[in-house]
A and B are shown apart, each in its own frame.
Chain A
Amino acid sequence: MLLSEATSANGFFGLVPWMVFAPVIGLLINAFLGRRLGEVGVGLVACLASGAAFVFSVLQAVSLAQHPEGAIVKLGEWIHIGQLSLDWAFRVDTLSVTMMLVVSGVGTLIHIYAIGYMREDVRFKNDPARFPRFFVFLNLFIAAMMILVSADNYLMLFVGWEGVGLCSFLLIGFWYDMDTLGRPSWANSNAAKKAFITNRVGDFGFLIAGFLMFWYLGSFQFDAVFAGAPGLVELHPEIILLITVFMLIGVAGKSAQIPLYVWLPDAMAGPTPVSALIHAATMVTAGVYLIARSAPIFGLLHDSQYIVATVGAVTALFAATIAVGQYDIKKVLAYSTISQLGFMVAAVGMGAYVAGMFHLVTHAFFKALLFLSAGSVILGLERGHHHAAHPHRHGSHAENHHKDAEHVEAFDPGDMRNMGGLRERMPVTFWVYMVGTLALAGIFPFAGFWSKDEILLDASLHFPHVYWLLTAAAFLTAFYMGRQVWMVFFGKARHEAAEHADESPLVITIPLIILAALSALGGFINLPFKGFHQFGHWLEHTLGAIEFPPFDFGVAGVSTALALGAIALSWFLYQRKPLEHGQPDPLAKPLGLAFVGMENKWFMDEAYQFMFVQPYRALAGFLAWKVDWDFWHEWFHDSVLAKGFIGLARVLADPIDLGIIDRVSYWLSDALRASAESLRKLQNGFVRSYALSVVLGVVAILGYLLLK
């Protein structure tokens, strides 16, 4: 692992463990010395650690360019028991390096953004001591995600999988005891618990798949499993189907597919950098990575592919319908993320691994951009609210805000109905948001157009029903993003906070601009024309030969036309007559009950509450109060055990102890006294009787001697 021996051998592959070590060192420094380093120091350490991980990832990519077959770098032995043999081994190949670059690259940009964002946030909530903790958790997340994407066996991948789940819990519940305005509330901890528990259900599926793999194939290591799978599908195709279905359950938990997506919208309770990093760009893509990595298994049965692709496509459309009816700026983006993840899962489910991974990369760029820009908008509204309330106040607005928290009316800075007209007041944010929106909607030549189009093309060729579902979802995607842009940036301000909003500082806008550039130009890494497909060829080294279908102008034309039509429809509804303050959504009347459903996320949370949470709570209450307290403690302990014990003690004490045992000892003493009394009679003082005893003794001895 030393620099010298790593570079002299094939490339920089030996340095790959440092990708994990760098963030770990960063988080340890921040955890122990965070208070002394101050805010700038903590942020610097965290960004350098994440940046170091990015540098090491780049070195891996450079080495891969020269040695495309990759390498497996073994760090140490882990478990070797019987048939089970696992190592801490890092797998450097084109697929994992792609993920490494995305995670560390976008992660570092978000670290930089988070410095500025969290400075304002901790002052707004009046708890500056919590600042270092945020960066400790962020670095922990980078470390865990690096383990996940570079693992060489399913169990090490699961270590990273669980680690990112933990970090998601820690970061969503960062403000665990207060709400967005700093008042005491448990809402954030509930959201964090919901995320962790829902993920756990998915993890259960992952583990069952892992156990099946070990039982039938004897190993967790990727190469061993992929080598043995074709043989297994001949003997037991149902086992392969079960493995893929259970892995899909794990993916549904981590990558927010139906039916386990419900945690992601609630996770927006966490700070915006968390939403951008974990719930848009990186953690939620772990499921897509898992399926792409397990391509040799998923590709064996048509049924597996059908199930995965259909789940992804249905999720894409379902989430897109909900996004249309949301008013919170981050919730729209959250459901959009679920929808786009559905695209990715559908793509890798169909076997279009390049398309899926391509969309993963471009989505990381533009979704992180959109989330961070939404954070910038929210910050702008908070500043505007402060300026409007206190026009003559100097100094940082956030520092004085906590004093006003008591008499601030419940103002939600994320509600789009309070926004409007921010185009003039926050120009940089507006332009980057436009880039992100066009990329997400799939407009030529932005990144989303190329990646989404490739998925639609593959779907149209192999799985027609998926194509129709995804196309409908794409139409709705463009529609709700257009709706969002008109509501937030155009028209006139519907609240005094929006009237007084201003642009965010550089530490926030510079990462936005970088991400906007990536969203605009990112599509060119995989142009779908003959002679290009660079990204595809890059991934071929890992996934095997891939046939690239020729670019279809029909599919591209239909999707572009639909996107433009959706944006035009949204303009017609939302911008032709700009929305007034208090005006209901223009879709409410035409769609009627359907809009009520969309607004209320089709009552899925309520349904889950009714189907699972309430019966579980009832069961827990029953077990706690009826079984544990009433039966166990009150009846069993008190009546049976305690009373029984006392009764037994009484039985033992009176009849047995007093009656029998005492009698025995009295008898002993009486017998002793009786024998002593009788022996005393020998001492009668008469010499005669003593003499008699002597004589008798002599007679006895003589008799014995004579008769012997």
Chain B
Amino acid sequence: MVPVSYYLVLSAILFSLGALGVLIRRNSLVIFMSIELMLNAANLAFVAFTRVHETFSGQIFVFLVMAVAAAEVAVGLALVVAIYRSRQSVDIDQMSSLKG
């Protein structure tokens, strides 16, 4: 069998990559994709832990997470489209009107 720690390390790496992507990339859609990556990394960790604990709670939780992710993406993409319509760009560096 593959040890659980490998899944967890993979989940950590994926989460980090996702965090880095949120922090570094400028394109909003890429940031969204990175957020999805982070969520899926968390899903992976949940599933790995069901293997360990012999219960199904983790796998159930993954469903909930996916539902939330989907809802979030829907709302977020709607927001991105609205922003693109007003600013003709999705570069978040250009959304700095909170600068003070």
Contacts and interface: CB of A to CB of B under 8 A. Distances in A.
Interface stretch (A3-11, A182-190, A321-329, A687-695): A687-695
A655 to B, nearest CB: 41
A597 B18 CA distance: 135
Nearest to A690: B98
B21 to A, nearest CB: 11
B2 interface: no
Contact of A688 (B24, B97, B98, B99): B24
Interface residues of B, number: 13
B55 interface: no
B99 A683 contact: yes
Interface band, chain A: 10 to 19
B73 interface: no
Interface stretch (B4-12, B45-53, B57-65, B88-96): B88-96
A686 B92 contact: yes
B23 A691 contact: yes
Nearest to A680: B100
Contacts of A680: 100
Contact of B98 (A685, A691, A692, A695): A685
A687 B26 CA distance: 10
Contact of B93 (A686, A691, A695): A686
A684 interface: yes
B23 A692 contact: yes
A346 B22 CA distance: 130
Question: A interface, by DSSP: helix, strand, loop or mixed?
Answer: helix
Contact of B99 (A684, A691, A692, A695): A684
Contact of A695 (B19, B92, B96): B19
A685 B99 CA distance: 4
A691 B20 CA distance: 10
Interface string A673-708: 000000010011111100110010000000000000
Contacts of B99: 683-686
Contact of B95 (A683, A685, A695): A685
Contacts of B19: 695
Contacts of B24: 688
B94 to A, nearest CB: 10
Contacts of A685: 95-100
B92 A683 contact: no
Nearest to A684: B99
B23 A688 contact: yes
A174 B96 CA distance: 105
Nearest to B19: A695
Nearest to B26: A688
Contacts of B93: 686, 688
Given A692-B23, A695-B19, A695-B23, A687 B92 contact: yes
A532 to B, nearest CB: 129
Interface of A: 680, 683-688, 691-692, 695
7 contacts: A680-B100, A684-B96, A686-B92, A686-B93, A691-B22, A691-B23, A695-B19
Given A685-B95, A688-B92, 20 more contacts: A680-B100, A683-B98, A683-B100, A685-B96, A685-B97, A685-B99, A685-B100, A686-B92, A686-B93, A686-B96, A686-B99, A687-B92, A688-B22, A688-B24, A688-B26, A691-B22, A691-B23, A692-B23, A695-B19, A695-B23
